[in-house]
Structure 1
Amino acid sequence: MHDQKKRDLVALASIPLIMTLANSMLIPVLPLMQKKLGISSVKASLIITVYAAVSIVCIPIAGYLSDRFGRKLIIIIGLSIAAIGGVVSGWSAWQLDHYAAYIGILIGRFIQGIGAAGAFPIVLPLVGDMFTSDEQVSSSLGMIETSNTFGKVVSPILGSALTLVVWYLPLAIIPVFCVISIAAIAIFVKVPKKNDEQQKMTFKAFLHDVGNILYKDGRWLYAIFAIGGIAMYIMFGFLYHMSTMLEEKHGIDGIKKGALLAIPLSAICIASYFTGKLIGTNKCKMKWFNFTGAVILTGSMSMFLFLDTTRLITNLILLSIGGLGIGLILPSLDALITEGIDKKQRGTITSLYSSMRFIGVAAGPLITSFFLDNDRLVFYIFTGMGLLCCGIALFAIHPSDEQEGKEGDLVPT
């Protein structure tokens, strides 16, 4: 890969890293924030959920704007809005008291979620635009997903360490990270010029275009949307469950808790990196890596129903195995959806996919917070959702017959 392209890719990889830190850094510190703000566990989970929930609505709009006005511009605007949201959240936690601080934090997180919608989801189609070789696209998407998961590995340790300085520092530091990423994008990222057709596309034409794509390719696209959302739901659900369990049942908090949370996340990161390298441009491999990851994830979640999960080592082993499964799933989905859609509609369709992932992020901590007193029910739900992923991956995603062993298109079943 050309040195300039490497710099482009490193700059782009900073976006999922920072957007992940903006959310995942808070997972291990939610119990502390709950105590400091005097709120319930459900209300604490909303600090994660509101960020993801507003992104769900805004991501498709950002996808359309990126198709029409350029991906680099929308990314820079998105990062700037995310920085503003971080300032609002950090200032509220610093200057306001208890419930007023909580409301201020939620408002800041709402603004930050709007910015996040114009950042990470736009990276996926931009990578597809920048490279002409399918092999480079697949490998680069693997690196982007690895950066995303690496952010999740670092975030619990970093978030826990920052709270040792002051409890709201994980909220307040995000604007600094955003400014660094904005500078890197502005300096290093060179994007292909938009064609006139994209620049002139009206919103009505855009909706018609999306409708045509979903009518033609809806079956396998809906399958990918569903698997992406379910995988993120399970990931954020079990992270929130483990964070609470470590503190309440084992008395582990601070950096030690962050380091333990980083273990299953490291499994996701490692698996994502190698999956991006191994699948290449072969869509059959993408399907079977996806299915295999879903089987591994389901198996690990189901084992919580049969083994003694009061032991910390058992929890870490099973969650790490589940993390390996998620690490097989996510890069495969990224590659399938990016390489299966024409460049001019890529921003829109990948934004819909990202919206589904954010639904999972929003639902994971919120739903899990209602069942913290019933571990078995939590893992029955995770197991059932994993089985659903297996079925969808096996029966709803089918490469075309001529794809066997080489490049080809996806077709609906």
Structure 2
Amino acid sequence: MGQKKKLDLLALSSVPLVMTLGNSMLIPVLPSIEKELGISSFQVSLIITVYSIVAIILIPIAGYLSDRLGRKLVMVPCLIIAGLGGAVSAWASWKINDPFMWIIFGRVLQGIGSAGAAPVVIPLIGDMFEKDEEISAGLGLTETANTGGKVLSPIIGAFLATFIWFLPFWFIPFFSLVSVLLVFFLVKSPKKKKEKQSIKEFFHQVGKVFKSSGRWLYTIFAVGCIIMFVLFGVLFYLSDTLEKNYHINGVTKGLLLAIPLLALSISSYVSGKKIGNNKHLMKMVTLGGMGLLAVSFVAIRFQHEFLFLLSFLVLSGIGIGVSLPCLDALITEGIEKEQRGTITSFYSAMRFIGVAAGPPTYAFLMGKGDHMIYYVSGGTSLLAFVLVLFFIRPPGKEEEEKDKKNKGEHLLNPT
């Protein structure tokens, strides 16, 4: 991988980092926002939910546009929109007496921007490299940046809120501007061939992809959703447990939340570097990751004292971390460039659904008892293990050799 490509990856890695910070950074600040604005818990939860719902709806559209118009042409304006959304929320919090609806409007803008920013990174990396092992390494780096944002966000958000409750909003346009500059000046998109397909023909080709490869594509969509559902649900549960059971809050709570996320981030980086273009290894690593995730929650069910809880959640973070670059690589390397943005956008949307569904579901389960958290987390993780085991089937040696000679064919055997 050349030095120029490394700079491209560095710039692209800023995009998921910025998007994650712009959302997750607000989670530890929500109690302060609720208190300052005098709003209900449901209203304050909309600050996160509205962002996710808007992104879920628009991600497939952004993926389609990136296939038709170009990745960078979609990504840069969307980063600017995300920054403007943060600025609207920040300005309203500072200058308006009753800013709640303006904050929500700003979060809607952020959701629009996020839909065309972070999800487009995956297909763009697939476009930039010819070698599958370079694609895997690049995707591992961006997953590391994504998780790095999750590691830093509770710490940064809690720290900023100790000064002024709305200060985290102001950092969103700042981070977005940095990412815009990096992407605009450092990322050189591969030259796009002149598009001869009509829209009807394009969607016909996308339909053919789902018809021929739907079995493994739907599996990756489902597993990506499950991983994000468990991850964000467990983070919500851990945050609540640290505060209510152990009376730990503020920056200290942010640091403790960051421990399993740091394990996730490191394991993502290592996994992306090691899997190369070996599809069989990708499947085995994903199986191992989902198995480790399921076993961690079985162990927590029987021993959930504080140190054991944190230790087992570190193991679950490793399980998620090693799996994510494998899923990214399987779907990116298995789809032709012309439809890659559209197909991977469905995967990104499913991950956002998991993010949006995790916290409210786990909040409901917590009312039923901690044991329900462990049963649901372990059960869904086991479901992901079974799906990967039976529905993702890498090609045999002969098929893999054929694929190297015919680069346009899909890399996975759906049968």
Pick which of 326-335 and 246-255 moved more: 246-255
RMSD (Å), alpha carbons:
1.8
Partner of 1:69: 69
**1:275-313: CA deviation from partner (whole Å, max 9, x where unpaired):** 001111000011111111111111112223222x3x322
Aligned to 1:260: 256
CA distance in 1: counterparts of 2:197 and 2:382, whole angstroms: 41
Query: Cα gap change, 1:319/1:141 in structure 2, threshold over 3 Å: closer, same or farther?
Result: same
Identity over the aligned pairs, expressed in percent? 51
Q: State the shift of 1:24 in Å.
A: 1.5
Gaps of 5+ in 1: none
- Counterpart code for 1:399: P
The corresponding residue for 1:4 is: 4
Determine if the alignment matches structure 1 residue 126 to structure 2 residue 124: yes
The structure 2 residue matched to 1:301, chosen from 293, 297, 312, is: 297
DSSP 3-state at the match of 1:411:
coil
Partners of 1:340 and 1:257 in 2: CA distance: 41
> Matches of 2:117 and 2:37 in 1, distance apart?
30
Instruction: For 1:218, give the aligned amino acid.
Output: G
TM-score, with structure 2 as normaliser:
0.94
* Counterpart for residue 191 of structure 1: 189
For 1:233, the equivalent position in structure 2 comes to 229
Contact preservation (8 Å) 1:28, 1:240:
no
Q: TM-score, normalised by structure 1?
A: 0.94
Match of 2:268 in 1: 272
In structure 2, the gaps of 5 or more residues are: 404-410
Q: 1:111, CA displacement in angstroms?
A: 1.4
Going from structure 1 to structure 2, the CA distance change for 1:139 and 1:317 (only over 3 Å counts) comes to: same
Cα distance in structure 2, aligned partners of 1:292 and 1:50: 34
Equivalence for 1:38: 38
CA distance in 2, matches of 1:406, 1:164: 58
Report Cα offsets for 1:229-285 as digits up to 9, x if no partner: 110011111111111222222221111111000000001001101100111100001
**Contact 1:267–1:320 (8 Å) recurs in 2:** yes
Is the 1:283–1:403 contact (alpha carbons within 8 Å) kept by the matching residues of 2?
A: no
Between stretches 49-58 and 14-23, larger displacement belongs to 49-58
**How do residues 352-367 of structure 1 correspond to structure 2 at under 5 angstroms?**
352-367=346-361
SS in 2 for 1:56: helix
- Which residue of 1 is the match for residue 375 of structure 2? 380
**Aligned mate of 1:220, from 213, 216, 220:** 216
Amino acid corresponding to residue 84 of structure 1 in structure 2: L
Which stretch shifts more, 140-149 or 38-47?
38-47
The one-character-per-residue Cα deviations of 1:57-107 (angstroms, maximum 9, x if unpaired) are: 10110011111111111000110110111112222322345xx43333222
Following superposition, the deviation at residue 112 of structure 1 comes to 0.5
Could you say if the C-alpha distance between residues 257 and 404 of structure 1 is closer, same or farther in structure 2, counting changes exceeding 3 Å? Answer: farther
Deviation at 1:348, TM superposition (A): 0.8
Match of 2:412 in 1: 410
**Equivalent residue number for residue 316 of structure 1:** 310
> Which has the larger displacement, 368-377 or 398-407?
398-407
Q: Could you list the runs of 4 or more consecutive aligned residues of structure 1 that deviate by over 4 angstroms after TM superposition? A: 403-408
C-alpha displacement of 1:40: 3.9
Aligned residue for 1:157? 155
CA shift at 1:405, angstroms? 9.4
Residue 107 of structure 2 corresponds to 109
Tell me the alpha carbon deviations over residues 300-351 of structure 1, each in whole angstroms, 9 at most, x when there is no partner.
12223222x3x32222112111100100111110000010111111111111
CA offsets, 1:333-372, max 9 Å, x none?
0000010111111111111110000000111112222333
- Cα distance in 1 for partners of 2:150, 2:402 equals 32
Q: Which amino acid aligns with 2:207?
A: G
What is the alpha-carbon distance in structure 2 between the residues aligned to residue 2 and residue 185 of structure 1? 17
Check conservation: 2:81, 2:110, Cα contact below 8 A: yes
What is the CA–CA distance in structure 2 between the aligned matches of 1:50 and 1:202, rounded to whole Å? 34
CA distance in 2: counterparts of 1:361 and 1:238, whole angstroms = 11
Q: Are positions 1:180 and 2:175 aligned together?
A: no
Name the count of aligned residue pairs.
407
CA-CA distance at 1:384 after TM superposition: 1.6
Task: State how far apart, in whole Å, the 2-side matches of 1:31 and 1:302 are.
Answer: 31
TM-superposed deviation, 1:181: 0.7
Q: 1:60 matched to which residue of 2?
A: 60
Secondary structure in 2 aligned to 1:195? coil
Cα deviation, residue 222, structure 1 = 0.2
Letter in 2 for 1:222: Y
Aligned to 1:282: 278
Aligned partners of 2:366 and 2:372 also within 8 Å: no
Distance 1:202 1:108 in 2: 35
Q: Which amino acid aligns with 1:83?
A: G
Q: Residue 54 of structure 2 contacts residue 111 of structure 2 at CA under 8 Å; is this kept in 1?
A: yes
Residues 82-140 of structure 1 deviation map (CA, whole Å, 9 limit, x = unaligned):
0111112222322345xx43333222112101100100110111111111121211111
1:238-253 superposed matches below 5 A: 238-253=234-249
Establish whether residue 397 from structure 1 lines up as the match of residue 380 from structure 2: no
